[in-house]
Each structure stands twice: as C-alpha cells, then as structure tokens.
Amino acid sequence: MTGIATLAELYLGAEPIGVTTDNDHLLLHLSNGHSVALPFEIVSQLAISTQQTSEARLLILSQPPRIDDVQVTDDALIVTLQDGRVLSSPLRWFPRLRYATDAERAYFVILGDNDLIHWPELDEDIELMRLFSGGESLESERSVQGWLAEHRSEAFVFNEATTKYDP
C-alpha cells in the first residue's frame, strides 16, 4: 500500500518501533529516530474501561497546572490555581476532610511541583490531577471507618482536659 499513511504515521509522524518507560513517562520510539513522551497520568486516563461519551475529550496541557491556595468549607474542597482558575469538589468525596475539624482542615502543605495537597494530621493526600479528572477518594469504606474511630478517640482524649468532645 504505497502512498497510504497509517494512523500512527499521521498522528505521530512515523511508525512506533518500541516502547520503554523513563521516570514518569511512557516513551514511544518511532522509526524516524524520534520519541514521544506521554506522562503516566495521561496513559492511565486512556486505560479507563468505562465507556466515554462522544463529548469526551483528551486534554494535553503544555504547562501543567499548579496549586496556589486551598480552602476547605463545610461543603467543598476549593483549589485556586496559579493561573487564576478555581476547582471545586464536593467534600463528600473526601471523607477524612469531611469529618475533620476546621483546624485540621486548615493545616495543609502543598508538595511536589505544587500539584499535591497533604494534610499531615489527617494522613490525607489529594493530587491535582485527581481533581481535574473528577475523582473522589479511593479509600475503602472500611479504611475510612477505622480511621474515623481512631480519629474520634484521639479527639476525645485530646479534649478531655477541657471536658469538650469534638466529634
């Protein structure tokens, strides 16, 4: 079939001849000597087995988003990005944040390349890419219940001197 380009040639510029990994990327090696690096986050999104609607789109960002600020209300986790965009996710997606006190919610650090939020007292980590993909916590209900029982017990012991109980 001379003169007819394959889809790989049309989209990649050449035929793939091999695949390797390097740090956080899947590398597609092409017959023209070039390679295409795909971040694992993108590859994992492509592997989703759920049926996508015709409106679904793959978004590749030339500049990755970075977290500027985080706010937790009684109903939502609100993340402000350095470019001014604001992401809001229902707090019910993140049980540890939902059951935390205001003080525990307010104590967080932004890690990585400003793309990971970590609450040390809650042992909770939320990646920015998970928020973009609309993903709620992957923690099992059993794990959450165990954490909650321990967390409430610690809160009771901590506040015993003041005779206050913070559920």
Given a cut of 70, is residue 156 above it in pLDDT? no
Given a cut of 60, is residue 164 above it in pLDDT? no
Q: What percent of the chain has pLDDT over 70?
A: 70
- Higher pLDDT, residue 166 or 84: 84
Question: Is 71 in the same domain as 134?
Answer: yes
Give domain status of residue 113, yes or no. Answer: yes
Q: Domain containing 39: what range?
A: 7-46
Question: Is 84 in the same domain as 125?
Answer: yes
Question: Is 42 in the same domain as 71?
Answer: no
Question: Is 73 in the same domain as 126?
Answer: yes
- Higher pLDDT, residue 48 or 82: 82
Question: Is 74 in the same domain as 112?
Answer: yes
Given a cut of 80, is residue 63 above it in pLDDT? no
pLDDT band at 166 (very low <50, low <70, confident <90, very high): very low
The number of folded domains in the chain is 2
HEC string of the chain? CCCCCCHHHHHHCCCEEEEEEECCEEEEEECCCCEEEEEHHHHHHHCCCCCCCCCCCCCCCCCCCCEEEEEECCCEEEEEECCCCEEEEEHHHCHHHHHCCHHHHHCCEEECCCCEEEECCCCEEEEHHHHHCCCCCCCCHHHHHHHHHHHHHHHHHHHHHHCCCCC
Question: Is 37 in the same domain as 96?
Answer: no
Give domain status of residue 57, yes or no. Answer: no
Given a cut of 50, is residue 50 above it in pLDDT? yes
For the stretch 73-112, pLDDT in tens is: 999 999 999 988 899 999 999 999 988 999 999 999 999 9
pLDDT value of position 90: 93
